[in-house]
Amino acid sequence: MVVRGLVPGAMAVASWGLFWWLAFPRHEICALTFPAPAGCGAGRVPEATFWTVVTVALLGAAVFAPAARWRRLGGIGLFGAAVWGFFAVLYA
């Protein structure tokens, strides 16, 4: 059970770190570029929260699904959500 959830768990933790690295406001003054640099503005926080919840749900599917086929689909969905979520938070 622990080994089965190791790769999806690592993928989820890495994606959460990237989401919140982009979203957490750290700067008072930011360059006017698009997409904004990481840590500029608090407008990314709702988007990062949404994608964190999505990846938590897919992590649960990837680890706790009863059939191997569903676990595999959950892992693929988790990878897709991590990539899509990163770009969604970046361009939010």
Residue 37: pLDDT over 90: no
For 10-31, b/e burial (b = at least 16 CB within 10 A) is ebbeebbebbbebbeeeeeeee
> How many Å apart are CA 43 and CA 48, to the nearest integer?
9
pTM score, two decimals?
0.83
**How many other CB atoms are found less than 10 A from the CB of residue 52?**
18
**C-alpha Rg value of the chain to the nearest Å:** 15
Token output for 40: 């500029």
CB 71, CB 58: distance < 8 Å: no
pLDDT tens for 44-62 read 889 999 999 999 998 888 8
